[in-house]
Structure 1
Amino acid sequence: MTGTRSAEERARDRELAALVVLARAPGLGLRTVRRLVDRHGGASKALAALRRAAPDELRGLRRGGRVPLARTVRALGPVAETAAQALLREVTEKELGVTGYTGCGEVAYPVGLRDLLDPPPVLFQCGGGELDPERTIAVVGTRAASSYGLRTAYTLGRELGRWGWTVVSGMARGVDAAAHAGALDAGGRTIGVLGTGHDHEYPAENRDLYRRMRLHGILLSEFEPGAPPTRSAFPRRNRVIAALARGVIVVEAGGKSGALNTADHGLDLGREVLAVPGRIDDPGAAGCLRLLRQGAGLVAGVQDVFDALGWLRLEPQGPQPEEGSAPVSEGPSRDMRLLGALSRGPCSPDELAVGLEMPVAKVLGGLGRLELEGWVERRPGGNFAAVGRRGGC
């Protein structure tokens, strides 16, 4: 926020500071903040309009009357804006990224969060990399997980990460932590959505997981640095988890588990909701069984997830290929190029990406499709090789 910054950067700084002011203003609420930003085409314009608003107009925007109007007005003033700018400087010094729901084309703001009626006005991020809404899946469940739940969450996280999917969860003990660990161990991408500010490692038993996530994952929070855990923060976190993902997998959940809250948000947002079955006499499986009765997709392995989301299917377009011939898929030219390269000998995904001038994510997706259909196999050391199709010649 110095004089050497470009006009575009200064405009972004003003938008973010205005968003912090709006988010902090008592009585407004997140839905009102979104409506104001959308209506005025930006947070700075919305803040200016609020400062010009008549008392009755401002009173009509607020939620109820528990907060005195004078307090709301004071929270929208220049002093509050100066405090917001100080917060953003502090965030920069702590090497956190920041993005917000603005009206000036903030491309870093996750697109899925725009589906929420109450999207976080500001997000604080630790860790780099772009978020891929098309290949992000939430894996959630109870904190009091059984060994079965922990093992299943870890395996799902590992397999999803192995196939290039991003695993998003809530950094809680139990299922969440196991899913994050599985993705990290596979060298995959994972996002932890916090119910606190970035300064708090909650729960403390996940300290090592926080360290790994800062190095190899992404930590997101709508709460300012220093914000402690509160009872209301975690349900708010759950809506963000659901909005970031294409679907929500509930691994293990009792009848009142917070994971069901995440699943409900997923349903409200039109996301796919999936559940892992448990024993019918296990109270810790009651939530998953209820979801299955209500029509959630059953997950007994990672292929069930891919089937539910319509991914990794090699569906013929037009005439069926002859047995033993190359597959025809939704991405035929890409998969044919991969098979052609592998027919000359085993290669690693990185070698294929360089040799074919293809993004690594596309290579991994193609290899995943081809392996599941039996056209390629994974060799020791991470290489892939072409093989005869299962059931073929």
Structure 2
Amino acid sequence: MASVTPNRLSGRTVRGSGQDRELEALIVLSRTPGLGLRTVRRLVDRHGGAARALRIVRSASPEGLRELCGRRATRGGVDRATGPGAMARARGILEAAGAKGLGVVGYGGAGYPPALRDLSDPPPVLFSRGRLPPDAGRAVAVVGTRAASSYGLRTAYTLGRELGRWGWTVVSGMARGIDAAAHAGALDAGGHSTGVLGTGHDHEYPTENRALYGRMRAEGLLLSEFDPGAPPTRSAFPRRNRVIAALVRGVIVVEAGGKSGALITADHALDLGREVLAVPGRIDDPAAAGCLRLLRQGAGLVARAQDAFDALGWLHLTAEDGPGPEVDGGSAPRSRGNTPSPDAELLRALSRRSQSPDELAVGLELPVSHVLRGLGRLELEGWVERGAGGRFSTVRRPTVP
């Protein structure tokens, strides 16, 4: 239905008239007073597209309009919002986005993230810049307070780096503090990161993250449901949080006070059936109050990336298959360029049978020194163990239901 697809999500925008009409109609509907995003979704789903839904809304009687859109929608308000100039204004938004190299996708159209359909109020339109993640199904959010401690920053960076190293996309909100540290960790590991903005793309907010914005545009992906020129507002950031929660398989809260916005993301994740995980902090630290509350309520405890993998049911052993992490096929941890990382290759080889370093070097066509360094890292992190005769095998770990 509705998509505008840029080349590699970073260059010239390629558009078609049918796609344009759908996107323009989505923009008009989303800005019509009295409708709301839930109503927009319902209308588009019911009538098979935004353009058709808009025609029906425009032609409905006052009574029919209330039946279609609810009591808050009035004939006068709808007429003013969907009048002759409305489509022209929507067209101007799309043309401005294209001139800036932004990709645009609309609800129901090709390229729209399927996970966002789990929301009752999905964004009608998304503006994007950057490159798509190599595997949209392997994404995890790392979120937390803006006023992060050195402990929180260090933990967020380390988690981001390890998740990125194993091919997971790190999703966060581009805020200062925990968000920025997690994005940077994933990028520094050569992994992928997605930033969900609470502003339009024209605003690098906060300004102290300007360098990170540059990296994300070049190496990651930036998404916003707001017009390119939209400034930061108090209401925009809670809306952003629901998108973060929907895009991922789990949310890790690193450090959060009792009223942190990160807890809103965790609440959305729970509503959507995503995993909610938390990093423990000191019991007397106000910045840890939110995480401790989540842990008391049953959130999974995360002290390292391996705990997140366990909770998400990834890279673990199965009793039927015997020793061997789930790293085959599309689930293999990957490094920059979507090629298997050396550590992932070692794990894949050891998932079949225990082997000596020499056997691994021959089978993988790698120098023995590289194999030994990789085995050392994996052994320290608890993925492999050394057995009799210096042979290595993957560590038998419990299955996650």
Q: Give TM-score scaled by structure 1 length.
A: 0.82
Contact 1:25–1:75 (Cα < 8 Å) also in 2: yes
- Report deviation, 1:57: 2.1
Alpha-carbon distance between aligned partners in 2 of 1:92 and 1:349, rounded to the nearest angstrom: 31
SS of 1:171's partner is: coil
Structure 2: which amino acid aligns with 1:108?
G
| Aligned CA distance change for structure 1 residues 203 and 333 (closer, same or farther; 3 Å) | closer
- Report deviation, 1:133: 3.4
Cross-structure match for 1:392: 387
- Report deviation, 1:167: 0.3
Alpha-carbon distance between aligned partners in 2 of 1:178 and 1:305, rounded to the nearest angstrom: 18
- Report deviation, 1:236: 0.1
1:232-257 Cα offsets, whole Å, 9 max, x none, are 00000000000000000000000000
Check if 1:219 corresponds to 2:222. yes
Alpha-carbon distance between aligned partners in 1 of 2:195 and 2:327, rounded to the nearest angstrom: 31
Contact 1:137–1:165 (Cα < 8 Å) also in 2: yes
SS of 1:134's partner is: coil
1:44-72 Cα offsets, whole Å, 9 max, x none, are 1111111121112223444654x764122
Cross-structure match for 2:45: 38
- Report deviation, 1:391: 3.5
| Aligned CA distance change for structure 1 residues 328 and 147 (closer, same or farther; 3 Å) | closer
SS of 1:79's partner is: helix
Contact 2:161–2:185 (Cα < 8 Å) also in 1: yes
Alpha-carbon distance between aligned partners in 1 of 2:260 and 2:298, rounded to the nearest angstrom: 18
Check if 1:192 corresponds to 2:195. yes
5 Å-filtered alignment, 1:314-325, equals 314-317=317-320, 320=322
| Aligned CA distance change for structure 1 residues 363 and 90 (closer, same or farther; 3 Å) | farther
SS of 2:16's partner is: helix
SS of 1:230's partner is: coil
Contact 1:317–1:329 (Cα < 8 Å) also in 2: no
Q: Give TM-score scaled by structure 2 length.
A: 0.81
Cross-structure match for 2:35: 28
Corresponding pairs, count:
358
Check if 1:360 corresponds to 2:339. yes
Structure 1: which amino acid aligns with 2:38?
R
1:202-246 Cα offsets, whole Å, 9 max, x none, are 111111111111111111000001101111000000000000000
Structure 2, unpaired ranges of 5+: 5-14, 389-401
Cross-structure match for 1:272: 275
| Aligned CA distance change for structure 1 residues 371 and 247 (closer, same or farther; 3 Å) | farther
- Report deviation, 1:79: 1.9
Alpha-carbon distance between aligned partners in 2 of 1:11 and 1:71, rounded to the nearest angstrom: 27
Alpha-carbon distance between aligned partners in 2 of 1:274 and 1:374, rounded to the nearest angstrom: 33
1:266-302 Cα offsets, whole Å, 9 max, x none, are 0000000000000000011000000000000000000
Cross-structure match for 1:165: 168
| Aligned CA distance change for structure 1 residues 362 and 28 (closer, same or farther; 3 Å) | farther
Alpha-carbon distance between aligned partners in 2 of 1:364 and 1:18, rounded to the nearest angstrom: 48
Cross-structure match for 1:202: 205
Range with bigger deviation, 73-82 or 30-39: 73-82
Structure 2: which amino acid aligns with 1:312?
L
Check if 1:153 corresponds to 2:156. yes
Check if 1:14 corresponds to 2:43. no
Contact 2:255–2:288 (Cα < 8 Å) also in 1: yes
5 Å-filtered alignment, 1:269-308, equals 269-308=272-311
Contact 2:37–2:121 (Cα < 8 Å) also in 1: yes
Alpha-carbon distance between aligned partners in 2 of 1:124 and 1:154, rounded to the nearest angstrom: 27
| Aligned CA distance change for structure 1 residues 368 and 244 (closer, same or farther; 3 Å) | farther
Check if 1:139 corresponds to 2:142. yes
1:2-27 Cα offsets, whole Å, 9 max, x none, are xxxxxx93222211111111111122
Structure 1, unpaired ranges of 5+: 2-7, 321-326, 339-347, 354-358
| Aligned CA distance change for structure 1 residues 192 and 328 (closer, same or farther; 3 Å) | closer
Of 55, 77, 83 in structure 2, the residue corresponding to residue 77 of structure 1 is: 83
1:77-127 Cα offsets, whole Å, 9 max, x none, are 33211221121111111000000102xxx2311111000000000000011
5 Å-filtered alignment, 1:248-267, equals 248-267=251-270
What is the aligned-residue RMSD (CA, Å)? 3.2
1:142-184 Cα offsets, whole Å, 9 max, x none, are 0010000000000000110011100000000100000011111
Check if 1:181 corresponds to 2:160. no
Alpha-carbon distance between aligned partners in 2 of 1:77 and 1:224, rounded to the nearest angstrom: 20
